[in-house]
Copies of this chain bind each other. A is one copy, B any other.
Amino acid sequence: MAPVYDRVALIGLGLIASSMFWAMKRGGLAGEVTGYARSSETRATAREIGLCDRVCDSAAEAVEGADLVVLCVPVGAMGAVAAEIAPALKPGATVSDVGSVKKAVIEAVAPHLPQGVHFVPAHPLAGTEHSGPRSGFAELFDNRWCLIVPDTGSDPDAVARVARLWQGMGAQTDEMDAEHHDLVLAVTSHAPHLIAYTMVGVADDLRRVTDSEVIKYSAAGFRDFTRIAASDPTMWRDVFLNNKEATLEILGRFTEELFALQRAIRTGDGDHLFAYFTRTRAIRRGIIEAGQDTDAPDFGRVKKG
């Protein structure tokens, strides 16, 4: 495959950026990839493991001459990073990001970008509970979705090229407007994460059920919650603070439903519970048919390459 970009700069070198690097290398999608992370420790690790062709000591140096700059920092840091790199951006360059929230990121980043620079926000729906420069792997985006959320007036060619890059990294792409993106993600990701964090916190608080018991006997249900609740705290703090409205709306609906099910338990209404549980089972089938998971039992996970 011919490179999609001659020069790509990754700002922030965590799970997503490091996976992008390995996926771009695998696909031969970029001529040179530069990288920058705020922490000198992260930069040292990146140099040690060969993450990025060139690791730079400032964001401005990393973006100099880049055709594509991808902001891979927590959502709350996007605005400051955009301000920092703006003067060093090459005219005609494209700036993209991988934030889990899009409306707030567009509001924070767009005002800083000089005229003649294209802004193409994106959000790959992929991740693990691991973080940091060592956590990435080339297959992370394979068969996952990447949502492209063009700003009003985004250049169609720039948008198509970002989509091509993601497709080259193994993802399927789709376009969506920012507000709708944030609502869909509140349902499929943000609210579930907050709920998982909450349940794990509750278990931790209970003194009658000792920690070791909760951990020892975690096989059913709770284990899946702990995996979700082990995700990067900084990233998720920023997600909730920046997708406040949609997340709170979904959580409101969630609480309402939970109260109805609690009442059914209290009053012994087995028919209500059975009907509800039967309905939710069908959604799972839909997900398997949509190819976003396998039908295999929840064990025997294998470590990737």
Contacts and interface: CB of A to CB of B under 8 A. Distances in A.
A173 interface: no
A233 B302 CA distance: 29
Contacts of A189: 220-222
Contacts of A294: 301, 303
B280 A200 contact: yes
A262 B248 contact: yes
A265 B236 CA distance: 11
B280 A230 contact: yes
Nearest to A278: B233
B273 A204 contact: no
A56 B247 CA distance: 53
Nearest to A230: B284
A284 B240 contact: no
Nearest to A188: B222
Contacts of A284: 129, 200, 226-227, 229-230
Given A192-B221, A192-B222, A197 B229 contact: no
A268 B279 CA distance: 35
A184 interface: yes
B244 A265 contact: yes
Contacts of A194: 258, 261-262, 265
Interface string A227-248: 1111101101110110010011
Given A253-B205, A286-B211, A300-B302, A277 B218 contact: no
A187 B215 contact: no
Contacts of A202: 187, 191, 250, 253-254, 257
A281 B229 contact: yes
Give the size range of A's interface with the partner: 35 or more
A1 interface: no
B262 A258 contact: no
A185 interface: yes
Contacts of A211: 283, 286
Contacts of A230: 280-281, 283-285
A209 interface: yes
Nearest to A172: B216
Nearest 8 pairs between A and B by C-beta?
Answer: A230-B284, A192-B221, A233-B277, A128-B297, A189-B220, A229-B280, A200-B280, A188-B222
Given A184-B214, A223-B287, A244-B268, 15 more contacts: A76-B270, A128-B298, A185-B217, A185-B220, A190-B221, A192-B221, A192-B222, A193-B221, A212-B290, A215-B290, A218-B287, A229-B283, A230-B284, A230-B285, A300-B303
13 contacts: A139-B300, A183-B208, A185-B220, A187-B202, A215-B292, A223-B287, A223-B292, A230-B280, A244-B268, A296-B301, A300-B302, A300-B304, A301-B302
